[in-house]
């Protein structure tokens, strides 16, 4: 039942506000002029709330930081949430408390407080969802980016998820220069970070991003799911090549990928691989058993997809752990998939052992569907590399020896290093003209692998010429990568030297400053102590303290404070 006495006070409380920032819940007559329309943001917040509520199978416990007039607090309470609202302005809290009396069935509470004081008090698992909408830029301005990042990183381990609207450094306001270049970086303490939308504010035409973040769940397209494993690189040899622009999540037989587009040097590559995977999984060729694509999406700054996870273990991990596997079955399964791709006019340009999964039934499956394109070439080498890469793959599968070349793989694993019957198989393939090379031919020869014998009439000249060309390509690739890494190392060294010079310059300035200060300080002191009467007083003090006399005498002599006794007596007579 509505408390009419308190409700009658509401117009006065709203009128006393320095700013009506949000619409007043269920009071359109008091919401004629507000700073921000909140319905657009609440639509996205509701989707995330419902998704997480479905995962936890209960109403959520919510903390609304900077709740203002309580628009989001009351609307979430209407959905069944238990909400605690916090705002530093007591006038806002008075309005919220007055509104709460109108809806005693709502599980809401409000208190006056500052975010920096409230967050340290949040207990483990006290809240399922925390809202921080356009509030943290004020803390960044007052306390600095690193303090806010640490504050949110600590919060990330205590809550299930958070929804944050973050201001940008491009906004035409006084605090904007203090904001980070990439607003998402404030949320670096969270594992999963996804931009839900962008919304215009009352301050300018700049649109602010609205993020959902969690260390436990992913949120995409109005759906959520728990992840058990996550990583920033697709495999162990990626070595940070994506520069933090990718996230891979795995849980409940799903693979979730998010690629960020806000780094220019990786944006095109990320988008191309994402497009390749979407195109392939949307229409896989006959004979290729691929996982189902469950959802996809893209925005100005992100692209993402959710697909079934291929069950099993990476072939790389199996070989590295020394586990047993059927090499011939691996080659047979992979060849069948390469032939299926080839028949459709597409190719896998990253044929590596870390892109093969061995299922529970021993079946080998190709993954990394973003590497499947119409171009008949390897991701590092030219058109010849697509088969030479496969030869290295055969070598590693059949010998269990992995090429750990860095930064790129070598092409030194020739046919001559293979064991039988694989050597005869690839020798038979080498006998044909390179114009006739295909995975279909490799498969046909593999079927007869036990029948093949080494042909003494193999065209050694053509073989050597082709292999030399491949080695040259490999060397060029190695040199290019080596030059790149040397350049990066040189830049780091130059930065270190510049930093060291800055430190030395600062130390020199500090030393000069200390000397100047000491001279300025000692000059009036020495001036004063040149007075003979002061010298006499100093000597009398020394005489009265024998224990200090030895030490002070040395200091006094250095400063010229000590005169002989005869001089003192003459001074006294006069």
The superfamily in CATH containing domain 4-216 is: Vaccinia Virus protein VP39 (3.40.50.150)
Contact status, residue 85 vs residue 108, Cβ threshold 8 Å: yes
Residue 246: its pLDDT value, please? 95
Residue 560 has pLDDT above 90, yes or no: no
How confident is the model over 218-275, as pLDDT tens digits? 999 999 999 999 999 887 777 778 888 999 999 999 999 999 998 888 999 999 999 9
Residue 567: its pLDDT value, please? 40
| Terminal Cα-to-Cα distance of the chain (whole angstroms) | 102
Contact status, residue 302 vs residue 354, Cβ threshold 8 Å: no
Contact status, residue 160 vs residue 214, Cβ threshold 8 Å: yes
Q: Where in the chain is the domain with CATH 3.30.200.20?
A: 227-309
| CB within 8 Å of 39: residues ≥ 6 apart | 23
CATH classification (class only), 227-309? alpha beta
Residue 456 has pLDDT above 50, yes or no: no
Tokens standing for 125?
Answer: 């698992």
| CB within 8 Å of 394: residues ≥ 6 apart | 331, 418, 422, 426
Beta carbons within 10 angstroms of residue 387's beta carbon:
20
Cα separation, 210 vs 230, in Å, equals 22
Quick one: average pLDDT of 449-459?
64
Residue 564: its pLDDT value, please? 46
Strand ranges across the sheet with 254-260: 229-231, 246-251, 254-260, 302-308, 293-298
Cα separation, 454 vs 245, in Å, equals 49
Cis amide leading into 421 (omega within 30): yes
Cα separation, 225 vs 247, in Å, equals 15
Cα separation, 89 vs 99, in Å, equals 16
Q: Where in the chain is the domain with CATH 1.10.510.10?
A: 312-486
Percentage of the residues of the chain whose pLDDT score is greater than 70: 75
Residue 557: its pLDDT value, please? 57
b or e along 428-443 (b: 16 or more beta carbons within 10 Å of the residue's beta carbon)? bbbeeeeeebbbeebb
Residue 498: its pLDDT value, please? 64
Q: What is the pTM assigned to this prediction? A: 0.78
User: Which class for 300: exposed (0-12), middle (13-18), buried (19 or more C-beta within 10 A)?
Assistant: exposed
How confident is the model over 116-157, as pLDDT tens digits? 999 999 999 999 999 999 999 999 999 999 999 999 999 999
User: In this structure, is the dihedral angle defined by the CA atoms of residues 376, 381, 387 and 393, taken in order, positive or negative?
Assistant: negative
* Residue 454 DSSP one-character state: -
Tokens standing for 319?
Answer: 């070989």
Higher pLDDT, 234 or 345: 345
How confident is the model over 381-415, as pLDDT tens digits? 655 578 888 988 999 999 998 865 554 555 455 67
Q: What is the CATH number of domain 312-486?
A: 1.10.510.10
- State phi, psi for 254 to the nearest 5 degrees: -120, 150
* Residue 21 DSSP one-character state: -
Contact status, residue 341 vs residue 390, Cβ threshold 8 Å: no
Residue 331: its pLDDT value, please? 97
434 pLDDT tier (thresholds 50, 70, 90)? confident
């Amino acid at each position: 039942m509505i408390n009419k006495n308190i409700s009658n006070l509401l117009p006065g409380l709203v009128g006393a506000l320095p700013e009506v920032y949000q619409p007043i819940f269920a009071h359109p007559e008091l919401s004629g002029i507000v700073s921000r329309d909140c319905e657009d943001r609440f639509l996205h917040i509701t989707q995330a709330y419902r998704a997480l509520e479905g995962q936890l199978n209960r109403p959520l416990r919510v903390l609304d930081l900077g709740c203002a007039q309580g628009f989001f607090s009351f609307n979430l309470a209407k959905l069944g949430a238990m909400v605690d609202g916090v705002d530093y302005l007591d006038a806002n809290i008075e309005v919220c408390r007055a509104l709460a009396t109108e809806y005693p069935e709502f599980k809401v509470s409000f208190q006056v407080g500052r975010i920096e004081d409230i967050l340290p008090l949040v207990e483990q698992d006290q809240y399922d969802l925390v809202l921080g909408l356009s509030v943290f830029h004020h803390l960044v301005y007052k306390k600095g980016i690193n303090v806010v990042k640490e504050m949110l990183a600590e919060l990330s381990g205590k809550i299930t998820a958070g929804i944050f609207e973050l201001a940008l450094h491009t906004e035409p306001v006084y605090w904007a220069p203090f904001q980070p270049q990439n607003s998402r970086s404030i949320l670096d303490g969270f594992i999963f970070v996804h931009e839900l939308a962008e919304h215009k504010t009352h301050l300018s035409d700049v649109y602010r991003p609205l993020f959902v973040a969690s260390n436990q769940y992913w949120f995409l397209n109005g759906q959520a799911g728990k992840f058990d494993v996550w990583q920033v690189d697709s495999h162990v040899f990626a070595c940070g090549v994506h520069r933090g622009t990718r996230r891979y999540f795995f849980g409940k037989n799903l693979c979730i990928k998010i690629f960020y587009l806000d780094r220019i040097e990786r944006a095109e590559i990320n988008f191309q691989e994402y497009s390749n995977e979407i195109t392939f999984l949307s229409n896989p060729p006959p004979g290729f058993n691929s996982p189902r694509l469950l959802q996809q999406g893209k925005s100005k700054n992100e692209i993402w997809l959710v697909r079934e996870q291929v069950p099993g273990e990476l072939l790389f991990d199996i070989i590295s752990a020394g586990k047993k596997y059927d090499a011939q079955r691996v080659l047979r399964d992979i060849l069948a998939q390469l032939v299926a791709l080839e028949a459709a006019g597409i190719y896998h340009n990253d044929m590596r052992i870390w892109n093969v999964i061995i299922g529970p039934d021993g079946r080998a499956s190709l993954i990394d569907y973003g590497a499947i394109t119409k171009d008949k070439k390897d991701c590092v080498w030219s058109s010849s590399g697509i088969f030479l890469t496969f030869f290295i793959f055969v070598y590693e599968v059949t010998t269990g020896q992995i090429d750990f070349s860095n930064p790129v793989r070598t092409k030194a694993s020739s046919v001559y290093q293979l064991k039988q019957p694989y050597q005869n198989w690839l020798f038979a393939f080498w006998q044909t003209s390179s114009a006739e090379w295909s995975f279909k031919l490799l498969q046909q020869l593999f079927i007869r692998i036990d029948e093949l014998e080494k042909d003494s009439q193999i065209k050694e000249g053509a073989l050597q010429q082709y292999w030399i060309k491949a080695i040259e390509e490999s060397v060029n690739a190695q040199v290019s990568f080596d030059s790149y890494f040397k350049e990066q190392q040189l830049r780091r060294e130059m930065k270190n030297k510049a930093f060291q010079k800055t430190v030395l310059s600062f130390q020199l300035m500090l030393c000069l400053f200390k000397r100047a200060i000491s001279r300025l300080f000692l000059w009036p002191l020495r001036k004063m102590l040149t007075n003979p009467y002061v010298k006499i007083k100093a000597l009398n003090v020394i005489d009265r303290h024998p224990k200090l006399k030895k030490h002070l005498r040395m200091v006094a002599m250095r400063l010229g404070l000590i005169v002989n006794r005869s001089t003192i007596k003459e001074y006294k007579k006069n």
